[in-house]
Amino acid sequence: MRKISRKYADPVDLIWLHAAAQMGMRIERSAEVNASWDGQGVLTIGTPETLDPDDCLAQMILHESCHSLCEGEQSLLKPDWGLESFNPDKKVREHACLRLQAMFADRYNMRSFYAATTVFRRYYDQLPADPLGDGDDPAIEIAREAWDRANRGPWAQPLDEALRRTALIADALREITDIASIWHLPVRLPNAT
């Protein structure tokens, strides 16, 4: 019997696990949660069989990072970024997170790849081309502040690098995927701005 010393790992998972580590997050998987931040550096994400078929680790890590950016630096020390399920303001905070997520995804024309897969998917799908553009949604201002934090803070480089690397893989798959795949999307090459 041959000795096996290596194992296969999904390349996009590796990209986003690396980004998470650079941002000070340790990723764990559990069938007990969808996603949960412990306030002490551990982000627990559901196991593949507990998530929706169109979820992926990249989307989940980006989404949770956006929650933290929307809630501010102090959120790193609070379970679930300080978001409490009984707080009526939570819906606006979720909408702000999704606007920020769309901004990140739009850098590489991958909005559908990073789409929310929860009950908030309809909101995400209806976001305008400029998710931070003027409007009367109170989530816009929260997302704008988060976008500023994202682009000047320590997470700017790891997030952009993960998005860029994922876009390279998406570009390599562009002509071989069918419409049922989350990889079936138009990709703007990462060196285009």
What pTM does this model have? Answer: 0.92
Mean local confidence (pLDDT), 126-142: 97
Cα-based angle 61, 154, 26 (whole degrees, multiple of 5):
40
Give the count of domains, the chain: 1
- Closest C-alpha to 124, from 90, 100, 155: 100
Q: Per the structure block, which two tokens stand in for 30?
A: 């559990």
Res. 54: pLDDT tops 50: yes
pLDDT bucket at 192, cuts 50 / 70 / 90: very low
Q: Which residues contact 165 (CB under 8 A, 6 or more apart)?
A: 15, 190
Mean local confidence (pLDDT), 53-60: 92
Q: Is residue 22 part of a domain?
A: yes
Q: Is residue 147 part of a domain?
A: yes
Q: Per the structure block, which two tokens stand in for 36?
A: 């949960």
Query: pLDDT, tens digit, for every residue of 79-103?
Result: 999 998 667 778 999 999 999 999 9
Q: Is residue 150 part of a domain?
A: yes
Q: Is residue 186 part of a domain?
A: no
> Helix, strand, coil shares of the chain as percentages rounded to 5?
50, 5, 45
Q: Is residue 112 part of a domain?
A: yes
Q: Is residue 187 part of a domain?
A: no
CA distance 123 to 145: 20
* Domain membership of residue 107 as a residue range: 11-173
CA distance 97 to 4: 42
Q: Is residue 123 part of a domain?
A: yes
Q: Is 193 exposed, middle or buried (0-12, 13-18, 19+ CB in 10 A)?
A: exposed
- Looking from the CA of 146 toward its CB, the CA atoms found within 13 Å total 31
Query: pLDDT, tens digit, for every residue of 136-170?
Result: 999 999 999 999 999 999 999 999 999 999 999 99
Residue 72, phi-psi category: left (phi > 0), alpha (psi -120 to 50), beta (remainder): left
Q: Is residue 191 part of a domain?
A: no
